[in-house]
Every structure is written in C-alpha cells, then in structure tokens.
Amino acid sequence: MPRPDPLYRWADRVASRFPTLSRCQARVLAWYSFGMVAARSGGLDRVSVHLAALSGVAVGTVRQRLREFYRPAHSKRGRRRRELTPEVCFGPLLAWVLSGWGDGPLALAIDPTSLGDRLTVLCVSAVYRGCAVPVAWAVLPANQPGAWNPHWIRLLGLLREQVGPDRRVFVLSDRGIESSELFRAIVALGWSPLMRAKARGCFRPEGGDWTPMPELAPRHGARFRARGQAFKEKSARLDCTLLARWDAGHADPWLILTDLPPDEADAAWYSLRTWIECSFKKIKSDGWQWQKTRMTDPQRAARLWAAMALATLWTLELGGQIDAARRPESPSPAGPKPRRWSTFLLGGAAILAAWITGADPSGRFHPQPWPAPERDAAPPHEALMKID
C-alpha cells in the first residue's frame, strides 16, 4: 500500500512541536489526533479502523498502539514501558497557538465540564474565533469533595513560562469559580482576571458603602464600574474593580471582578468566555464524541484529552485561517459580519479537502483584534445616585 503522506507529514509536524515527548509518544499522539479528525470521533474502534484503512496496518495492531497511549506504564507490554504525563503537553500546546498569535492579548477561559457522574475535567483553554483550544486540564472523579482552586492555580502556573512577560493575558471564569484566593493567584502571575461573581455578593466602592452587587446594575441597559472592595467577609475581602452591566436578553447582570483600572476594562470582554462552552460541545457531541466513552479512570482520560486537544487545535488552526479571510476585520463600529459557519466546521472541511487534493493541511492562528473598552459607563457616585 502507498505511504499515506498526510498522516506522516502530520506526525513529523507533531514531533517537532512536542520535543519533550519520546519519539514513540509523539508518533502515537499524532496518529490518534489524525484518526479523530478522520473518523469525527475519539472512539477507540472508530479511530483504529480509519487509521488502519489509511496506513495498511492491521486494525488490531493500530488499536493496541492507541490503547498503549493512554494506559499506565505498569499495564503496558515490553521492557521500555513509559506512560504519557499529560502536563508535558500543556506548554507545547500553548506555544503552538502563540506561534502565530502575534503580540496581541491572549484570553484564557477556565471552566469545568463533566462526563456524567464519572469524571469532571477542569479545563484551561485559549479562546479563539468562536471556539477554544484546550491547553491544560485536570481530570477528577466526579461528585467527590475537594477544592478546585489548587488545580486551577497549578494549571495556570504550568502555562506561565510559555507566555512572554509583555503579553497581556486575561483569565475568564464563570460564577461558582470566583474566589479571592484564585483572583490573587492570577494577579501574581502578571495576568488579569475577568471573574464573574454570583449575585449574592456585595461591593463597596471607594468612598461608598457596602451595596449588593446586583443593585449596581439594577435594570436592562445599566452600566457601572468602580474601584473598591468585594465580599464583606474579612477573610475573603478583595481589593478590585467591579464591572457591572445588564444587557437586554440576559436574565441577570454581569458582575465582573478584575484588577484593571475602571477606565481600562470592559465587562463585555467577558463574553469571550462562552467560547470555551462551544469547545466542550466539539469535544463531545459535535466533534470527538467524548460523551460516549466508557472510561472511569481519571489518569487515562487525562491522556486521551491530549489527543482531543491536539485534534481541536489542528481543526481550529485551519478553520480560523479561513474565517479570518472570509470575515476581515471591519473599521466600522459594527465590527465584522456575523459568523455563519463555525471555525471548527470550516477547519474540518479544509483538512478533508487537503487530504483529497494532496495539499498541505496546515495554517496559523489569526486572533481577532482585542476590543477597546466602552466609555459610556457612569461615574461611581452618579451610578449610585440613579439607583431607586
């Protein structure tokens, strides 16, 4: 059977991007991610059958190689048994994304996703053109007590060295993850949190009194931003900026905590966090079908996530390049035209077309320009006076 050039070109590219992996680990990671894109699934049997058809290797042989990828060392055959440590993939994944990013800001979203009542994945992703690339994760047993903050802080710390000291980084998190401990840890990395707080919190503007946060944006169209303190409890009290806004169509106001000065930040930036939810959909029902896995071992699942993250990166790299060409940045206040087709869909089609035509399915990341903050928020005292 002729050599499947697209598969081997991808394997060479992956090996060059993951120098800390062994030659065998890099090759199987490349094969697994390639098979996911080809099969539109992360299922072991589906990926194995597609790779076998492409490579001419027996299905059973391919399947065993892929199983060895996520198994622990003591469960593998042979003398030179090594297991993949998922953490060694985090830096290379982010470095790959940033290699075509330019010098613009980077937004990292942190959010959990669950696999029924079996596993919970704490994921850090680089948000990009309507979706997100997983770049660090921790897989935990579901529904078990334990703090998440140590995991979030460790994951973000593992990514720090891949980001230059001059790049602005925003860390976006949803309600339920907010805490003074995590906020301060993000600031200690030199990054800026955009941390959504629950509505039951209180805020005290500089020179003002403690006020329930929702009362600072009490109606649709309301805007508020000011420096002050969040959380009345002394042990959790936090010096920060509150960005509050309540847009039409939303059931609740956005209450965003950040370290940035009020006139240098915008609560609207938080909207990028929803892109990580789109990436979870791609990893599950709209892409790699992870919701169908029968895995229960967190360590095995964490290794499988390395292949899913790489398959997602490749798809978004191609799709984002097409999206950037189809939706050029507009100088008008309305911005670029709405996105009709997802970056993920465009990327998958581009890879398939490249395989059929013999082209090279590679690209680079083209991040969208970071929006300037709005200047229409009322000053703190004026905003407070308007609350009836």
For 13-66, the pLDDT digits (tens) are 999 999 999 999 999 999 999 999 999 999 999 999 999 999 999 999 999 999
Helix (H) or strand (E) holding 376: none
State the Cα–Cα distance between residues 45 and 93, nearest whole angstrom: 26
DSSP 8-class letter at 276: H
CA-wise closest residue to 185 among 135, 137, 151, 138: 151
Q: Is 66 helix (H, G, I), strand (E, B) or coil?
A: helix
Bridge-partner residues for 203, per DSSP?
Answer: 211, 230
Q: How many CB atoms lie within 10 A of CB 19?
A: 9
The answer to whether the CB of 204 falls within 8 A of the CB of 228 is yes
State the Cα–Cα distance between residues 172 and 169, nearest whole angstrom: 10
State the Cα–Cα distance between residues 253 and 227, nearest whole angstrom: 18
Q: Is 198 helix (H, G, I), strand (E, B) or coil?
A: coil
Tokens of 104: 């613009």
- The pLDDT score that the predictor gives to residue 191 is 98
Q: Is 172 helix (H, G, I), strand (E, B) or coil?
A: strand
State the Cα–Cα distance between residues 299 and 290, nearest whole angstrom: 15
- The pLDDT score that the predictor gives to residue 87 is 97
Q: Is 127 helix (H, G, I), strand (E, B) or coil?
A: strand
- The pLDDT score that the predictor gives to residue 366 is 94
State the Cα–Cα distance between residues 102 and 328, nearest whole angstrom: 17
Q: Is 19 helix (H, G, I), strand (E, B) or coil?
A: coil
Whole-model pTM: value is 0.92
- The pLDDT score that the predictor gives to residue 76 is 54
One of 3.10.450, 3.30.310, 1.20.120, 3.90.350 is the CATH number of 88-388, namely 3.90.350
Residue listed under structure tokens 């991808």: 10
Tokens of 11: 């394997």
Bridge-partner residues for 223, per DSSP?
Answer: 245
Residues of the chain with pLDDT under 70: 1-3, 73-81, 329-337, 375-388
How far CA 150 is from CA of 5, 9, 52, 301, in Å, comes to 43, 39, 41, 20
- The pLDDT score that the predictor gives to residue 341 is 92
Where in the sequence of the chain do the CATH 3.90.350 domains occur?
A: 88-388
- The pLDDT score that the predictor gives to residue 326 is 86
Q: How many CB atoms lie within 10 A of CB 386?
A: 11
State the Cα–Cα distance between residues 10 and 362, nearest whole angstrom: 9
